[in-house]
Structures are given as C-alpha cells and as structure tokens.
Amino acid sequence: MKKLVCLALTWVWVVGAQNWPSFRGSKGAGIADGMNPPVSFDGKESKNLAWKTPIPGLSVSSPIVWGDRVIVTTAISSDPKPFRHGLYGDVEPSNDTAKHTWKVYALDRKTGKIVWEQTAWEGAPKTKRHTKSSQATCTPATDGKYVAVWFGSEGLFVFDFATGKQIWKKDLGLMNAGWFYDPDFEWGVGASPIIYKDRVIVQADIQKGSFIAAFDVKSGTQVWRTQRDEIPSWSTPTVYEGKTGTELLTNGTNALRGYDPATGKELWSISGDKFNSEIAIGVPYAAHDLIYMAAGYPPTQPIFAIKPGLRGKVTVTDEANPQAFAWKVKRGGPYIPTSIVYGEHLYTIQNNGILACYEAKTGKRLYQNRLSEKSSAHSASPVAADGKLYFAAEDGDVFVVKAGPVFELLASNQVGEVLMATPAVTEKLLIVRGQSSVFAFESPR
C-alpha cells in the first residue's frame, strides 16, 4: 500500500510540475526544476527539435503549458504593417488599424499538432500598437479547465480548455496604454491575466481610469474592482502565499502595491518621489520569503526586495528602512525583461544583453557580463531549470548560462526566428515562441 501511495504522489508531482500555467509559469517565478530541458539545440538544423508548428499573424505573447496542451494566441491583420525588433526608443506607434482576427490555438505538447483553434474577435483594432509589439501581447492563463485570454480593448475571454468553446466574453472598455506624455501615442496593453482559485484577475493600467479587477472564471461575473492611481504600465500581477498571509502583488510607476485577492482591498503601498521607473514592466514574484520588484526605464532603475506582511503606506527614501525592505538599490533594474531569483542568486538581463548576478538576500552584485559579443536586444524574460538559466534574444538566439555566482556560458543556440516571447519549460521540453512558429526543443533521449 505504501508503495502505491508513493507512486501516486510521484505521478501527481510530475503532472503538476510539467504545467506552465501563465506568464513566467507558476506564480511568475520562471522556474521549472526537474523538467530537464535541453542545453543544446538548433532550430535551423533541427537539432534536438521535437516539433515546429507555424502560427499565422503577429504576436509577442508567450506560450503556456498544461498537461499535454500548449496554448498560444495571435492577431492576424488583413493588411500587416511593419514590425521592428532591436535596440531603439521610438515612441511613434504602428498604424496597424486594418481588420484583424484574434485567435487562440491549442497544440499537442508531444507533436505540435493543432488540437483546436478559436476566433475570439474580428474587426479593426480599437487602439494602435507599438512597432515592437502586437495586438496579441498578453500571455494567456489556464487552470486546466479554463483558458483566460485578454486582448485589451477587444475584451477578456474565457474558453473551455478541452474543446476551445468560448464560455464568456467581457468588454472592459477602451484600453489606451501608451506614452503617458501624449495619449495619441498608443502602444497597446501588455499585462497578462492570471487565474487564482476561481477568479480571473486583470491589471489594467491605462491613460485614464486604471484598475485591477477579479472575475468569476466560470461566469465572468465581476467579483471586485479596485481603482488604481496609475499611469500606463505593462506589468502582470502575481499572488504571494506565505507566512504572513496571501497578497496580490502589482508593480506600477506611482506605487508598488499589495491587495487582498479575495476582496481587492489595498493592503499596502510603497511610493516616493521618483522612486520607480516611469515605465513599469517587470513582474513581481516571491522567493526566500521576500517579494522582488524591479523596473529599468532610465534614469531610475530600482530593484526592491520587500518584506511581506506590510500594511499601510510606505514612503521610499534613501534610508534603508529595514521594516519594509531586506534591501534595495537605485540602479540595475531591467527595462523589459523581468528579473529572476534562482537558488541563492538574483539575475537581471538588460535590453542590451548585459547579465548581472546578485546575492538574492543581500543585493550584493557578484558579476556583470555581456551574454554575447554581438549586440542583441532582449525583451523576453529569463527562465530557469535544473541549474541552468535560459535567455532568449530578439535576434533568434537562446543563451544557456550555468546558475551560480560565477558567469559560465554553456551554450548559444540558434532558433532561426525573431524571439520576443518568454519561453516555457515543461517535461524534457523548452517551448519557444518565434515570430512565425512555435518550437519544442527536447533533451536527447
């Protein structure tokens, strides 16, 4: 009997561990130990390539995985306009206002075969997009029963995981997220939905009327909605469950905040005079019983290691404030990619490919190295598994770095397509979303 119980528990762990349910996997941490993804692979030469599935349209959203399904989204334009990757800082949006078709695809995790596809919406986009983004930027989320997809102004949708049937749709209004100095410079939303217990939670930081809200995943009924004093941001919320309770974590330009996910009540906020970047993209997450938040739009590029259980308002000053912070630094926060804590270390990758490693508990910087001699932009966030870190560069390379206090590059792998999305890790596979295809690279058998 004991042997059967152990086998059952092992099976449950393996099934659960192979899931990557939302942006950056479980709770936004970006970690999938025990999955043994490959170190070396090549999309052009089909080295360690399990499958490759073309997906039409333009999307920078990331793949998610549950059981034997990989879920991706896309937006197909009837008159595609240019997409530009690379290192640049233009604020002019793309005038991609032709008729679009927003779609959701479920792929077989083992073969890449399309299991189902559904059209969520058709029509002209209600807002423009950034030239480095798409009309399908937000990563979907799933709990194995439902798939939640947010297409910004086109609506929040929930589909049946098994069949793809649309369960409900919610119009959240015009989602104008863009340059805060001029509302005409529309860039599109970027915060991904999450599913927590029986609720879909969406953070909508826009030009006017920013809010965070929770909806019943089965019916779409709004459970709560809390206004936010925020300018546009592109950060996905996450939930921390720890010794001090449960907190819904959000990054933002005006304040870092924690909410009660059951009611939407604000529990705490951290603010100050220009304490955070004017553009907040990095996702908050927890490790070592600390909450990590960062943002990196110059010149303000902070990293915060926040103590959970705060209550009320905290003002950031140059002083240490040990009641609120384990540590904080003014410089070093990444702009678009989210940082990652893996083991005893925190890693950041800048847009220009410079990797830095810190002691996660103290903030002491241990090294700083460029990933590659060639200049390459980075928008995807790092992920980690089995002692290795994976960094996807926009030019189409995935760099594999050994985890630890000393920089060691293990591999530089060519995928063969522009890479904007954060990879997903599942059992023996690294799922990589390219500009035109989804790739599954597998460990040698």
Give residue for tokens 């103290």. 362
Q: Token pair for residue 172?
A: 């959240």
- Would you mind telling me the total number of residues written for the chain in this entry? 445
pLDDT for 145 equals: 98
Say what the pTM is.
0.94
pLDDT for 8 equals: 37
Phi/psi at 397 (nearest 5 deg)?
A: -105, 145
For 29-62, b/e burial (b = at least 16 CB within 10 A) is: bbbbeebbbbbebebeeeebbbbbbebebbbbbb
pLDDT for 445 equals: 76
pLDDT for 118 equals: 98
pLDDT for 351 equals: 95
Residue 345: how many other CB atoms lie within 10 Å: 18
Say if CB 72 and CB 55 are below 8 A apart: yes
pLDDT for 1 equals: 44
pLDDT for 22 equals: 98
Q: What is the 3-state secondary structure (H, E, C) of the chain?
A: CHHHHHHHHHHHHHHHHCCECCCCCHHHCCECCCCCCCCCCECCCCECEEEEEECCCECCCCCEEECCEEEEEEEEECCCCCCCCCCCCCCCCECCCCCEEEEEEEEECCCCCEEEEEEEEEECCCCCECCCCCCCCCCCEECCCEEEEECHHHCEEEEECCCCCEEEEECCCCCCCECCCCCCCECCCCCCCEEECCEEEEEECCCCCCEEEEEECCCCCEEEEEECCCCCCCCCCEEEEECCEEEEEECCCCCEEEECCCCCCEEEEEECCCCCCCCCCCCCEEECCEEEEECCCCCCCCEEEECCCCCEEEECCCCCCCCCEEEEECCCCCCCCCCEEECCEEEEECCCCEEEEEECCCCCEEEEEECCCCCCCCCCCCEEECCEEEEECCCCEEEEEECCCCCCEEEEEECCCCCCCCCEEECCEEEEECCCEEEEEECCC
Cα torsion for 200, 206, 209, 215, to the nearest 10°? -10
Q: Token pair for residue 183?
A: 């509302």
Q: Which residues contact 19 (CB under 8 A, 6 or more apart)?
A: 26, 65, 66, 67, 144, 426
Can you list the domains of the chain with their CATH numbers?
A: 37-87+101-442 (2.130.10.10)
Answer positive or negative: Cα dihedral of 229, 233, 236, 241.
Answer: negative
Q: Token pair for residue 272?
A: 């100050």
Amino acid, single-letter form, for residue 305:
A
Give residue for tokens 């990557």. 20
pLDDT for 181 equals: 86
Residue 121: how many other CB atoms lie within 10 Å: 18
Say if CB 429 and CB 34 are below 8 A apart: no
Nearest residue to 203 via CA among 268, 249, 167, 242: 249
The residues with which 166 forms a beta bridge, in sequence order, are: 159
Say if CB 75 and CB 101 are below 8 A apart: yes
pLDDT for 190 equals: 95
Q: Token pair for residue 158?
A: 């929930």
Averaged pLDDT in 10-residue chunks for the chain of 445 residues: 39 57 97 97 97 97 98 96 88 89 98 98 95 96 98 98 98 94 91 98 97 98 98 97 95 97 98 93 97 95 96 88 93 97 98 97 97 89 98 97 98 97 97 98 91
Q: What is the 3-state secondary structure (H, E, C) of 239-274?
A: EEEECCEEEEEECCCCCEEEECCCCCCEEEEEECCC
